[in-house]
Structure 1
């Protein structure tokens, strides 16, 4: 195998937590040569038995190939691990969870070291990696040229969805979806807590939640349409004045059941503030702009 061939087919992976290990196994299963490094060396031993090359340090790992994937704890870890490593001519693909600002700064950092940079946001959990039918995918953004060169390899662990040249876009969409998931899990937690001391078994609550939330999903498209048009009052089915008033019943029910209201209060308070500001006739999509911080 020539050096040039190794550069374009080999994947260098820094970071072997659960997600990094899943990515490594997917690449190995697809026939890619893989060089791995992890701060705790023992994490690499099972992968070595499966055919991965284990590097002694980050510099040795990076020297093995052009495509360098970082899957670490946070953005600070990426900077620490790659400090002093020669990145000239490399393509750094960072799938570490980070903020949009961190991703943009890391792209500038990489460019100053002669590397192309692509940021990634993984929309999957480790058991979904390497399983195409799972529906898992990763957002990518940054260098379009680097992504195009490595798209085939990057599509092996999960689907690969390129979002554009702004390195911060993948992180933005990643965190936006994770934030929505947090809200959903907060709702799960409160709903199960309400029923916890009742005769309704958790399995029945789950069955009802799955059906109800599936029925509510089209609201996302309705939010988008109202935000794009700027019309928050035409055809409103349940305005914010009604929702804010109904929230009181949710809070009283929680109190009767001995359940903390801490997961409900922030959204309820936001509705109350918007109604007090004159937005009672508006749809809930209007709360998006209410939530934005005043840039002044």
Structure 2
């Protein structure tokens, strides 16, 4: 036995580091470039391709391999991520590629129907398929504190195998084996967002030209919208229960009665009510059908064709 610290030190050879998964990225628009940057920063070997070759300059400077064609890029790695303009662009870019044995992750914004058709198309060509809906803008990618995430649906095996790689640029939320469900969740959230934007636009239009600075209204407006966001959970619980009268704070009848004030104020301010009127018409239809004691949840049923 010795007191020599050198002799007492462990002589076990450290285990070799597991190499990071290499992947291919097709598409270097603003979002594609942000994705590439995140994977490269994390040390993943990356092969990229873009129809306009000049856009590959930034990833190349950071260590990405630039392929001369989509087929060459696809051949380079098993995991292939697509971030092109639309579904037609995916069809065109991958038309002459060999997808047999590939894991194809499609981050192109599309419809649920397009995603399901693309999944079947990929399967016929021998590939596993995962569809994705990105809930972020490019500056949020690779910045966890900004809260970016991506909905994924399709092959659960593909997702589980590559979830660590996919989580590098943004968080991951797997929403099931139906390939169309990522797009469905994506569009549902975006649709709600645009509805909110419509209300915000109307609110600012009302005060435009008055001695009310937009910057003065903004924090009050944001705070009010945040407070009202609690109604989302109420709507969900009422839909699941099939009872739209539970927990009602302001009945449909009361809200229909009060809409006149909103419309008259718009008229007084010289503001079009075209962003509000369609929703008010749905409220009136539900009231006429006997839903006066309900919440606003019944409008959901009117939208179903």
What TM bracket, shorter-length normalisation? over 0.9
The separation in 2 between residues aligned to 1:201 and 1:37, in whole angstroms, is 47
How do 1:15-54 residues align onto structure 2 when only pairs under 5 Å count?
15-54=27-66
1:165 aligns with 2:177: yes
CA distance in 2, matches of 1:81, 1:106: 13
- Pairing 1:88-127 to 2, within 5 Å after superposition: 88-127=100-139
Q: How does 1:222-261 map to 2 (within 5 A)?
A: 222-261=234-273
Tell me by how many angstroms 1:238 deviates: 1.2
Q: Is 1:218 aligned with 2:205?
A: no
Corresponding position of 2:142: 130
Which of residues 133, 154, 162 in structure 1 aligns to 2:166? 154
Alignment partner, residue 201 of structure 1: 213
Which has the greater radius of gyration?
A: 2
Q: Which residue of 2 aligns with 1:82?
A: 94
Q: Which runs of 5+ in 2 are unaligned?
A: 1-17
1:179 to 167, 175, 191: 191
> Matched residues in 2 for 1:196 and 1:40: separation?
43
State whether residues 251 and 293 of structure 2, in contact with CA within 8 Å, keep that contact through their aligned partners in structure 1: yes
What SS does the aligned partner of 1:165 have? coil
Does structure 1 retain, via aligned residues, the 8 Å contact 2:35–2:142? Answer: yes
What is the CA-CA distance between 1:13 and the residue it aligns to? 0.7
Match of 1:192 among 188, 204, 212: 204
Number of equivalent positions: 288
- Matches of 2:214 and 2:247 in 1, distance apart? 36
Q: Corresponding residue for 2:11?
A: none
Structure 1 residue 179 displacement after superposition: 0.6
Query: What TM-score do you get using the length of structure 1 for normalisation?
Result: 0.94
How far does residue 235 in structure 1 lie from its aligned partner after superposition?
3.8
1:196, 1:58 → 2: CA distance?
Answer: 50
How far apart are residue 229 of structure 1 and its match? 0.7
2:10 alignment partner in structure 1 = none
What is the match of residue 144 of structure 1?
Answer: 156
How far did 1:234 drift?
A: 3.4
- Cα offsets for 1:247-284 (capped at 9, x unmatched): 22211111111111111111111111111222222110
Matched, 1:268 2:264: no
Distance 1:181 1:82 in 2: 32
Give the corresponding residue for 2:8. Answer: none
- Runs (4+) of structure 1 exceeding 3 A deviation are none
Q: Could you tell me how far 1:17 is from its partner in structure 2? A: 1.0
Moved more, 268-277 or 16-25: 268-277
Structure 1, unmatched stretches of 5+, are none
1:72 and 2:88 equivalent?
no
Following TM superposition, by how much is the alpha carbon of 1:244 offset from its aligned partner in structure 2, in angstroms?
A: 1.8
Q: Distance in 1 between matches of 2:280 and 2:31?
A: 36
Q: Which residue of 2 aligns with 1:9?
A: 21
Name whichever of 30-39 and 271-280 sits farther off.
Answer: 271-280
2:70 alignment partner in structure 1: 58
Instruction: Give the 3 Å change call, closer, same or farther, for CA 256–85 of structure 1 in structure 2.
Output: same
Give CA deviations for 1:186-231 in whole Å, capped at 9, x if unaligned. 1111111111111111111111011111111111110011001111
The SS at the match of 1:35 is strand
Shift of 1:245: 2.2
